[in-house]
């Protein structure tokens, strides 16, 4: 990484403000997946060992600039305390006099977690005044939330413009792994893309058509591509605005599309397998790749020296439409080098307990895609150069 990290700056006996990404799934106050929290521990422990006063900040969910009780960070503080075997003091706000007093009142070596920064609309607006209030809490800024580095927001790039700003170990590792993919991928290089919206991934597909050996497309992402080829997609959603752009790529032989599909009604009933090109009713929707497609995708995957996967291949939350995604994921441990990113894809990896069976599980989805697209990300660009 060509940016400074916590090891390149004096943090000993300093008040360190650290941006993490603790945006984890929480239900009824219980954390369903603590992967992102666990990945943050290395940097936090390093700062504590240096006797720094550690002030953590993050967002959770989409509160829309107002206080939402279910999106408070209390469960995060509890889990952090358990994992660190050390109390993490949770505050009920992220700015203001009471917060400042609490920060001043704890000892060096202690840890404080601020309240959800997105309770303020100024966060997403990258408001300078809000960024100054956050920055006033610390003397050094550590960016360790890879999942938000593509956001131009107050707690990301805003604070970094006001304090000496460096990367934490989580961010450093993500950048090092993905830089190798971007600049010098092992070959054959296979990319698997799924998920819901082709709009968010079309530019990446265009770039990868010049870089990857094969791009396997599944999920709702494939609907618009199949429609552009004249294939019946039933009632499945397509992005008509993008059809002219999609038509430019549909005949590229590096693009690997489904041979068959699993379709069903909106209520999930009457799931059936159809070959691509076969008639689909207007009250039916494409919800998964079929068995022939899974075999085809695995055939390409097993040839790879590097496989990058982002986005599920179907509506995996419903077991009738989960065979493509889970069937593909189960074969990952046998592959040479696998990198997986995206919240839903990561959930599948955790459900199958494959986290330690693959080369790299990214803590970012959108950030990972934009990084591989070659976009300069504000949460990285704002850090001090080495």
Please indicate, yes or no, if residue 384 is contained in any of the structural domains. no
Q: Are residues 346 and 212 in the same domain?
A: yes
Residues 199 and 218 in one domain: yes
- 216 and 358 belong to one structural domain: yes
Domain count, the chain: 2
Q: Are residues 189 and 252 in the same domain?
A: yes
- 213 with 160, same domain: the answer is no
Q: What distance, in Å, lies between the first and last C-alpha atoms of the chain?
A: 9
User: Which parts of the chain sit beneath pLDDT 50?
Assistant: none
For residue 85, the enclosing domain spans 6-168
Same domain, 360 and 230: yes
Q: pLDDT tens digits for 274-321? A: 999 999 999 999 999 999 999 999 999 999 999 999 999 999 999 999
- In this structure, what token pair is assigned to residue 227? 């429609």
The span from the CA of 144 to the CA of 166, in Å, is 9
* Nearest alpha carbon to residue 58 among 123, 3, 122, 11: 123
Contact, 142 vs 168, CB < 8 A?
A: yes
| Distance from C-alpha of 374 to C-alpha of 179, rounded to nearest angstrom | 9
- Give residue 268's pLDDT: 62
Q: Is residue 380 part of a domain?
A: no
DSSP 129: H
**Which residues have a Cβ under 8 Å from the Cβ of 307 and sit 6 or more positions away?**
190, 191, 192, 301, 332, 335, 336, 337, 338, 339
Residues 197, 305 within the same domain: yes
* Neighbour tally for 374: CB within 10 Å: 12
Q: Is residue 383 in a domain?
A: no
Q: Is 385 contained in some domain? A: no
Domain stop point among 142, 168, 194: 168
Contacts of 72 (CB under 8 A, 6+ apart): 60, 92, 115, 116
Say yes or no: 148 and 188 in one domain. Answer: no
Closest residue by Cα to residue 36 from 368, 363, 371: 363
β-bridge mates for residue 5, sequence order: 167
Strands (E), 168-300: 189-193, 214-217, 255-256, 260-264, 272-275, 285-289
**Structure token digits, residue 198:** 């082709």
Q: Distance between CA 107 and CA 103 in Å, rounded? A: 9
Considering 110, 145, 168, which residue would you say is the last residue of a domain?
168
What are the distances in angstroms from CA 19 to CA 112, 169, 177, 191, 283?
Answer: 12, 12, 20, 30, 46
Q: What pLDDT, on the 0 to 100 scale, is given for residue 267?
A: 65
Rounded Cα distance, 93 and 96, in Å: 8
What confidence score (pLDDT) does residue 197 get?
A: 87
| Residues 258 and 343 reside in one and the same domain | yes
Domain boundary among 112, 145, 168: 168
Q: How far is CA 163 from each of CA 10, 27, 130, 142, 215, rounded to the nearest angstrom?
A: 13, 35, 14, 9, 41
Task: Based on the fold, state whether residues 31 and 160 are members of the same structural domain.
Answer: yes
Q: Provide the edge-to-edge strand list for the sheet that holds 285-289.
A: 272-275, 260-264, 285-289
Match 């008040």 to its residue by tokens: 15
In a domain, 229, yes or no: yes
The CATH number of whichever domain residue 79 belongs to comes to 3.40.50.1260
Q: Which pLDDT value is given to residue 266?
A: 75
Note whether 134 and 197 are same-domain residues: no
Does residue 325 lie within any of the structural domains?
Answer: yes
340 shares a domain with 257: yes
């Amino acid at each position: 990484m060509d940016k400074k990290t916590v090891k390149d700056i004096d943090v000993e006996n300093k008040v360190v403000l650290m941006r993490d990404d603790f945006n984890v799934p929480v239900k009824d106050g219980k954390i369903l997946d603590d992967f992102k929290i666990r990945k943050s521990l290395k940097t936090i422990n390093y700062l504590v060992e240096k006797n720094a006063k550690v002030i953590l900040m993050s967002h959770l969910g989409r509160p829309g600039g107002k206080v939402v009780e279910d999106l408070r960070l209390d469960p995060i503080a509890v889990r952090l305390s358990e994992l660190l075997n050390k109390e993490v003091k949770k505050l009920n706000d992220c700015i203001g006099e009471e917060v400042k007093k609490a920060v001043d009142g704890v000892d060096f070596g202690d840890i404080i977690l601020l309240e959800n920064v997105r309770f303020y609309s100024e966060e997403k607006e990258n408001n300078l005044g809000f960024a100054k209030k956050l920055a006033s809490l610390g003397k050094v800024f550590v960016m360790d939330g890879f999942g938000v580095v593509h956001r131009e927001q107050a707690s990301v790039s805003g604070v970094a413009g006001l304090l000496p700003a460096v990367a934490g170990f989580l961010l450093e590792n993500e950048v090092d792994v993905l830089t190798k993919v971007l600049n010098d991928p092992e070959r054959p290089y296979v990319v698997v893309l799924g998920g819901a919206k082709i709009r968010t991934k079309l530019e990446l597909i265009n770039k990868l058509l010049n870089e990857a050996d094969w791009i396997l497309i599944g999920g709702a992402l494939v609907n618009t591509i199949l429609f552009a080829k004249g294939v019946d997609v039933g009632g499945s959603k397509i992005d008509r605005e993008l059809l002219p752009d999609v038509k430019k790529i549909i005949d590229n032989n590096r693009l690997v599309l489904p041979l068959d599909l699993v379709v069903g009604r909106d209520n999930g009933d009457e799931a059936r397998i159809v070959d691509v090109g076969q008639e689909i009713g207007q009250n039916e929707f494409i919800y998964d790749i079929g068995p022939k497609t899974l075999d085809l995708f695995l055939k390409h995957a097993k040839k790879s020296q590097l496989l990058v996967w982002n986005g599920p291949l179907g509506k995996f939350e419903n077991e009738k439409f989960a065979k493509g995604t889970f069937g593909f994921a189960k074969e990952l441990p046998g592959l040479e080098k696998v990198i997986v990113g995206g919240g839903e894809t990561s959930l599948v990896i955790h459900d199958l307990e494959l986290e330690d069976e693959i080369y790299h599980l990214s803590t970012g989805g959108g950030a990972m895609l934009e990084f591989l697209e070659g976009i300069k990300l504000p949460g990285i660009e704002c850090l001090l150069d080495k």
